[in-house]
Chains A and B, each alone.
Chain A
Amino acid sequence: MNEAPREAGRLEVQGLSLSFGGLKALRDVSFAVEAGSITALIGPNGAGKTSMFNCISGFYRPQQGRILFDGENVTARHAPARAKLGFARTFQNIALFRGMTVLDNIKLGRHAHMKSNALQALAYWGAARREEIALREEIEKRIIDFLEINHIRHMPVGSLPYGLQKRVELARALAMKPRILLLDEPVAGMNREETEDMARFILDVKEEWGTTILMVEHDMGMVMDISDHVVVLNFGQVIAQGLPSEVQADPRVVEAYLGSGDPAALMKRINETQEAA
């Protein structure tokens, strides 16, 4: 089981539209996440970033458009099937299992790639036993050491501070043998030091595992520091994408975040949104 990380995948979103009743959450969104890159999805609150994430991980079914993973259309696949394909996700409001230990949480990440059946599990015999022990060894050597969480492995997740919980969630995503990591606000609510630690781990994952990373993040400092490519969403549409430096300088992005200072432009935008709804 001590195999090399799986090959990074390339994700492509083509013309995705999603609406809830009359509310258009995403309108004709297209972008690509190149294999082995770090791509950031940014935008003001309510821009549709989390909706986009939920489409990619299989919770929402878009009304239009396709999601391609290494050229294969995965739009119709359910979340568990995508997990098996190599989609690994972390959540904005940590979705760990609080009563379980750190180790058990990480082990859960591997679920879709394990094979033992119920009878073997009841007897803890044969494949079940071999698989569990090999998994433990791999997690210890490749994930727990890597993310520096040795000291907490037997502790229940609920008792850990926030920053460490985020790290455990990343560990669980890594245990999923990811080909693409989807990180939903990996440093939200963290202090400077914790943010820097997390940024370093994300960069290390890219360097050492070569995994493709797509993240939603509000911390602009971190986004601009570590991303290779930035996609900016506003009102469900892609308003800019490119290198961090290009996006930063784009007047549409500045306007989306800060407003243009022109009341007429604001009224025009409000009217447009109302018409669209």
Chain B
Amino acid sequence: MRIATAKQSYSSDEALLRTNTQWAWMGILALALLAAPFLLDGYWLYLACLVTINVASATGLNILTGFTGLVSLGQAAFMAVGAYTVAVLQRDVGTPFLFNLLAAGALTAIVGVLVGLPSLRVKGLYLAIATIAASFILHFVFVNWQSLTNGPSGISLEPATFFGAPLTSNFHLYWVFVPITALMVLGAANLFRTRIGRAFIAIRDRDISAEVLGIPLLRYKLLSFAISSFYAGIAGGMWAYFFRVVTPESFPFITSIFFLAAIIVGGMGTILGGIVGAVFMTLVPELLRFLVEWASPFVPNAGTLLSPVRTVVFGALIVGFLVFEPQGMAEIIQRIRRFFHLWPFRK
């Protein structure tokens, strides 16, 4: 039951976490994140890092598509810009890790603003097509700007060093990636407590009345593109340090759809949605793998079925969520929360 939530100051009523239950859950999450690298073996640690990167990127896309209502299928290309920025900086300049990541974010933000320029005139499906076009243009640049990107063979990276400590294993990378992603998620949550986040939501819901309230549409749409691409760029940079090789095929178009699916399944326009969506969509293929392994004694050739089954389940999940739970997993969580607000007094 939800009790004792009255507040004595406006600042405490404006806080992100307002109840003891929320603080308790956050504490459990923090403990789990701290304990994870010691409990997980190599492969699961690899997945944990991948999930962390995807959460950062999905949160970024959620700012643009979920909160501002601008559908983008350019997320993979934005991540690629970040990854190449990190790779080139490390290869040619040798600047430190954090600087490279920030530079990746900044450069991707600039690219994002350029891609977002048509958004004043076109919306919805048409904007999605414009972002697809931008992805293919960027892909063309990665393949053909040989002197910088080394063409189709791509760039290999040395392991990063973080203040002198080499980040050679996933164990090391985990300790760097998780705080970075946590900060990014916190930033996004903060954003939607302020005027800028509210303006984004206003543009999504009713752009005409947003204008009457004094929100200049183009400026805020571009700002949303900039922040979202900044997130994508940092995620792409982390990706580059994680896989240590960046080629034009590292970020295929399907990756953009993956992230869009992640926020749809997780819940568009909620911070929680971006997180659970990215976690869920990254782990689903692994769960399927376990299912197939478990079924292999009974089903002949189970192994060869894995790949098509994966694709079918992926598609079915997206369709299933669109039909049965259009608000995504975040809404399921909210419903459970609301149930316990009154529990045990209402059944």
Residues of chain A having any CB pair with chain B under 8 Å: 57-59, 78-81, 83-84, 89, 91, 95-100, 104, 107-114, 116-118, 120-124, 128-129, 131-133, 136-137, 140, 172, 176
Q: Are B208 and A95 in contact (CB under 8 A)?
A: yes
Q: In the complex, which residues of chain A have a beta carbon less than 8 angstroms from the beta carbon of B209?
A: 91, 95-97
Does B205 touch A at the CB level, under 8 Å?
yes
Compute how far the CA of A150 lies from the CA of B57 in the bound complex, rounded to whole angstroms: 39
Which of A57, A97, A116, A172 has the largest number of chain B CB atoms within 10 A?
A97
- Tell which of B205, B214, B223 touches A80, judged by Cβ atoms closer than 8 Å: B214
Q: B214: which A residues are within 8 A, CB to CB?
A: 79-81, 83-84, 111-113, 176
How far apart are the CA atoms of A128 and B192 in the complex, in Å? 12
> Any chain A CB within 8 A of the CB of B49?
no
Q: State whether A136 touches B14 (Cβ < 8 A).
A: yes
A104-B198 contact, Cβ under 8 Å, with A133-B11, A176-B213:
yes
Chain B residue, CB-CB nearest to A121:
B194
Please name the 7 residue pairs, one residue from A and one from B, whose CB atoms are nearest each other, closest first: A112-B214, A83-B214, A124-B190, A95-B209, A122-B187, A121-B194, A97-B205
List residues of chain B with CB within 8 A of the CB of A96. 209
A124 to chain B: which residues have CB within 8 Å?
Answer: 190, 193-194
| B283 touches A (CB below 8 Å) | no
A89-B212, A133-B14 given; A111·B198 CB < 8 A: yes
Between-chain CB contacts (< 8 Å), 8 pairs: A80-B214, A95-B208, A97-B206, A110-B195, A111-B198, A121-B196, A122-B187, A172-B213
Tell whether, in the assembled complex, residue A80 and residue B215 are in contact, meaning their CB atoms are under 8 Å apart.
Answer: yes
- Cβ of B213 and Cβ of A112 under 8 Å apart? yes
Interface bracket on B: 20 to 34
**A contact patch SS:** helix
CA distance A28 to B160 in the complex (A): 71
Name the residue of chain B whose CB is nearest to the CB of A79.
Answer: B211
> What's the minimum C-beta distance from A9 to chain B, rounded to whole angstroms?
16
Q: A83 vs B187: C-alpha distance in the bound complex, in angstroms?
A: 29
CB pair A116–B195 under 8 Å, yes or no, is yes
A52 → chain B, closest Cβ, in Å?
Answer: 15
Give the A-binding residues of B (Cβ under 8 A). 10-11, 13-14, 187-188, 190-191, 193-199, 201-202, 205-206, 208-209, 211-216, 223, 226-227, 269
Contact A133/B213 with A118-B223, A121-B196, A123-B190 known, Cβ cut-off 8 Å:
no
Interface pair A121/B14, CB less than 8 Å apart: no
CB distance from B327 to the nearest CB of A (A): 10
Contacts of A133 in B (CB 8 A): 10-11, 14
Please name all residues of chain B whose beta carbon is closer than 8 Å to the beta carbon of A123 when the two chains form the complex. 187, 190
Q: Name the residue on A nearest B209 (C-beta).
A: A95
Contact (Cβ within 8 A) A122 B191:
yes
**Chain A contacts of B213 at CB under 8 A?**
80, 83, 108-109, 111-112, 172, 176
User: In the assembled complex, which residues on chain A have CB atoms less than 8 Å from the CB atom of B14?
Assistant: 132-133, 136
- Chain A residues closer than 8 Å to B216, beta-carbon distance: 78, 80
Contacts known (A83-B214, A109-B213, A176-B213); A121 close to B190, Cβ less than 8 A = yes
Give, as a whole number of angstroms, the nearest-CB distance from A176 to chain B: 7
Given the complex of chains A and B, what is the CA–CA distance between A132 and B199 in angstroms? 14
Question: With A97-B201, A121-B196 in contact, do A111 and B215 touch (Cβ < 8 Å)?
Answer: yes
Partner of B194, one of A78, A91, A132: A132
Residues of B within 8 Å of A95, CB to CB, are: 206, 208-209, 212
Measured CB to CB, the nearest residue on chain A to B215 is: A111
A81 CA to B202 CA in the complex, in Å? 17
B212 and A79 within 8 A (CB)? yes
Contacts of B199 in A (CB 8 A): 108, 111
Distance of B226 from chain A, by nearest CB (Å)? 8
Min Cβ gap B179→A in Å is 15
User: Nearest residue in A to B187 (C-beta to C-beta)?
Assistant: A122
Query: Could you list 4 further interchain pairs (A-B, Cβ under 8 angstroms) beyond the known A80-B211, A122-B188, A129-B11?
Result: A81-B214, A116-B196, A133-B11, A136-B14
List residues of chain B with CB within 8 A of the CB of A128: 190, 194-195
Q: Which residue of A lies closest to B13 (CB)?
A: A136
